[in-house]
Chain A
Amino acid sequence: NAGVTQTPKFQVLKTGQSMTLQCAQDMNHEYMSWYRQDPGMGLRLIHYSVGAGITDQGEVPNGYNVSRSTTEDFPLRLLSAAPSQTSVYFCASRNVGGRNTGELFFGEGSRLTVL
């Protein structure tokens, strides 16, 4: 049971380049989400999904796209990277069944630097 797996762990981009951060979970969780963590800002929600084919925006969605074609995968795409997107990105998932009381399971993070 690998849990939530994020790749790559580190990435350096130039302004204007595009890339995809990958997230996969093997726990059959319906809910998946992407956060960015910046010093003094805590965790900010970028996008989330409550199931395959369903996505929605979080607090800071601009500059990012997501899709959810399978239950397991939830990639985050940066369309045209900007220095303001330099951050640590976390993918998190949880079960929404039963009484919907589940806690989040986080990946180990992807550290992105945009020059």
Chain B
Amino acid sequence: AQSVAQPEDQVNVAEGNPLTVKCTYSVSGNPYLFWYVQYPNRGLQFLLKYITGDNLVKGSYGFEAEFNKSQTSFHLKKPSALVSDSALYFCAVRASGGSYIPTFGRGTSLIVHP
């Protein structure tokens, strides 16, 4: 079985400060890891993914995430938050062994204050 935990329902950060949205996972074998963002009344949009290789993955809108195998984590980061980054963020995991179905975390609401 595979699972994802996003331990924070909400993250608050001031504009210009660095932000981190946490994600830990459990999966049999090697993981494929994804981050998605959902703006109000919109569908989810893909931000970035880790498949293999470099543990630091760069994605859209200046976001990056670091894969840590020993801690089974894939935290989303951005050096300087913007008010427009305020949204709901979902982490997802899928096993690399041919699995079709990803498991999503419950989401973390990021609020960036001016």
Interface residues of A (CB under 8 A from B): 4, 31, 33, 40-43, 45, 48, 50, 58, 90, 92, 96, 99-101, 103-109
What CA separation (Å) do A50 and B101 show in the bound complex? 10
Question: Residues of B within 8 Å of A, CB-based: how many?
Answer: 21
A42-B107, A45-B101, A48-B101 are known contacts. Are A104 and B46 too (CB-CB below 8 A)?
yes
Question: Is there an interface contact between A108 and B43, defined as CB atoms closer than 8 Å?
Answer: yes
Which residues of B lie under 8 Å from residue A50 when comparing CB positions?
Answer: 100
Interchain CA distance A42-B102 in the complex, whole Å: 13
- Residues in chain A near residue B98, CB distance under 8 A: 100
Instruction: Tell me the complex Cα distance, A4–B9, Å.
Output: 28
Q: How far is the CB of B42 from chain A (nearest CB, A)?
A: 6
> Could you give 8 example pairs across A and B, Cβ below 8 Å?
A42-B106, A48-B100, A99-B51, A101-B49, A103-B34, A106-B43, A108-B43, A109-B43
